[in-house]
Amino acid sequence: MKKSKDENTEGQILDAAKDVFQSKGMDGARMQEIADKAGINKAMLHYYYRSKQLLFEAVFKNAFSLLAPQLNTILNDDSSLEDKIKNFTMDYTTFMMKHPYLPNFIIQELNRNEDFILKLKENTGFPNLKKFKEKVADEINQGLIQPIDADQLFVNIIALNIFPFLGKPLIKAFTDKDEKAYKTFVEERKTEVSNFIINAIKKQ
Amino acid sequence: MKKSKDENTEGQILDAAKDVFQSKGMDGARMQEIADKAGINKAMLHYYYRSKQLLFEAVFKNAFSLLAPQLNTILNDDSSLEDKIKNFTMDYTTFMMKHPYLPNFIIQELNRNEDFILKLKENTGFPNLKKFKEKVADEINQGLIQPIDADQLFVNIIALNIFPFLGKPLIKAFTDKDEKAYKTFVEERKTEVSNFIINAIKKQ
DNA sequence: ATATTTATTAACCAATTAGTTAAACTAAAT
DNA sequence: ATTTAGTTTAACTAATTGGTTAATAAATAT
Residue B110: strand, helix, or coil: helix
Is pTM beyond 0.75? Reply is yes
For residue B196, give how far its alpha carbon lies from the nearest alpha carbon of chain A (Å): 5
CA distance B185 to B163: 13
The share of chain A scoring above pLDDT 90, in percent, equals 87
- Provide the number of structural domains found in chain B: 2
**Whether residue A142 sits in one domain with residue A69:** yes
Residue B32 lies in a domain: yes
When the pLDDT of each residue in chain A is averaged and rounded to a whole number, the result is 94
Residue A25 lies in a domain: yes
Picking from A104, A148, A192, the nearest residue to B152 by CB comes out as A192
**Whether residue B130 sits in one domain with residue B159:** yes
| B43 beta carbon to strand C: under 7 Å | yes
pLDDT in tens, B142-162: 999 999 999 999 999 999 999
Side chain identity at residue A62, one-letter code:
N
**Whether residue A160 sits in one domain with residue A179:** yes
Residue A170 lies in a domain: yes
**Whether residue A129 sits in one domain with residue A33:** no
Say what the pLDDT of residue B1 is: 34
pLDDT in tens, A141-183: 999 999 999 999 999 999 999 999 999 999 999 999 999 999 9
**Whether residue B26 sits in one domain with residue B94:** no
Task: Produce one character per residue of B63-85: b if its CB has 16 or more CB atoms within 10 Å, e if not.
Answer: bbeebeebbebbbeeeeebbebb
Domain residues for A177?
60-201
Residue B138 lies in a domain: yes
Q: If phi over 0 gives left and psi between -120 and 50 gives alpha, with beta otherwise, what is residue A126?
A: beta
Say what the pLDDT of residue A3 is: 42
For residue B3, is pLDDT > 70?
no
Say what the pLDDT of residue A2 is: 38
CA distance B93 to B3: 33
Interface test with A, best of B126, B133, B160 (most A CBs within 10 A): B160
For residue B71, give how far its alpha carbon lies from the nearest alpha carbon of chain A (Å): 11
- φ, ψ of residue A95 in degrees (nearest 5): -60, -45
CA distance B66 to B64: 5
B88 and B157 Cβ atoms separated by less than 8 Å: yes
**Whether residue B118 sits in one domain with residue B78:** yes
The answer to whether the CB atoms of B24 and A112 lie below 8 A apart is: yes
| A36 beta carbon to strand C: under 7 Å | no
**Whether residue A161 sits in one domain with residue A113:** yes
Picking from B121, B185, B199, the nearest residue to A200 by CB comes out as B199
Residue A149 lies in a domain: yes
Residue A55 lies in a domain: no
B120 CB neighbours in chain A (<8 A) are: 173
- φ, ψ of residue B129 in degrees (nearest 5): -90, 0
CA distance B148 to B196: 15
Q: How far is the CA of B30 from the C1' of D11 (A)?
A: 19
The enclosing domain of A77 has a CATH number of 1.10.357.10
CA distances from A179 to A186, A193, B46, B189 (A): 11, 20, 37, 32
Any residues with CB less than 8 A from the CB of B22 and at least 6 apart, and which? B59, B63, B101, B102, B105
Say what the pLDDT of residue A204 is: 74
The answer to whether the CB atoms of B117 and A173 lie below 8 A apart is: yes
Which nucleotides of chain D are near protein (any atom < 7 Å from a CB)?
7-11, 16-22
Any residues with CB less than 8 A from the CB of B159 and at least 6 apart, and which? A159, A160, A162, A163, A164, A167
A46 and A36 Cβ atoms separated by less than 8 Å: no
**Whether residue B86 sits in one domain with residue B3:** no
For residue A5, is pLDDT > 80?
no
CA distance A105 to B133: 32
**Whether residue A75 sits in one domain with residue A45:** no
CA distance B48 to B167: 35
A167 and B162 Cβ atoms separated by less than 8 Å: yes
Taking the C1' atom of every nucleotide in all shown strands and the CA of A44, the nearest one is: C8
Say what the pLDDT of residue A62 is: 93
The answer to whether the CB atoms of B170 and A199 lie below 8 A apart is: no
B156 and A160 Cβ atoms separated by less than 8 Å: yes
**DSSP conformation letters of B84-97:** HHHHHHHHHHHHHH
Say what the pLDDT of residue B6 is: 54
Q: How many CB atoms lie within 10 A of CB B8?
A: 13
Interface test with B, best of A72, A93, A156, A178 (most B CBs within 10 A): A156
When the pLDDT of each residue in chain B is averaged and rounded to a whole number, the result is 94
Please give the average per-residue pLDDT across A118-139, as a whole number: 92
Residue A153 lies in a domain: yes
Nearest CA to B74 out of B60, B59, B89, B64 is that of B89
pLDDT in tens, B86-100: 999 999 999 999 999
Please give the average per-residue pLDDT across A43-68, as a whole number: 95
**Whether residue A104 sits in one domain with residue A180:** yes
Which nucleotides of chain C are near protein (any atom < 7 Å from a CB)?
7-11, 16-22
The interaxial angle of helices B9-28 and B31-38, nearest 10 deg, is 150
Q: Which residue of B has its CA nearest to A186?
A: B152
A159 CB neighbours in chain B (<8 A) are: 159-160, 162-164, 167
**Whether residue B172 sits in one domain with residue B71:** yes
The enclosing domain of A8 has a CATH number of 1.10.10.60
Side chain identity at residue B186, one-letter code:
V
Sign of CA dihedral A72, A73, A79, A80: negative
Say what the pLDDT of residue A57 is: 96
For residue B11, is pLDDT > 50?
yes
**Whether residue B45 sits in one domain with residue B13:** yes
Residue B55 lies in a domain: no
Picking from B168, B174, B193, the nearest residue to A129 by CB comes out as B174
The share of chain B scoring above pLDDT 90, in percent, equals 86
B42 and B33 Cβ atoms separated by less than 8 Å: no
Picking from A127, A160, A168, the nearest residue to B156 by CB comes out as A160
Interface test with B, best of A119, A174, A175, A191 (most B CBs within 10 A): A174
Q: How far is the CA of A30 from the C1' of D6 (A)?
A: 40
The answer to whether the CB atoms of B173 and A121 lie below 8 A apart is: yes
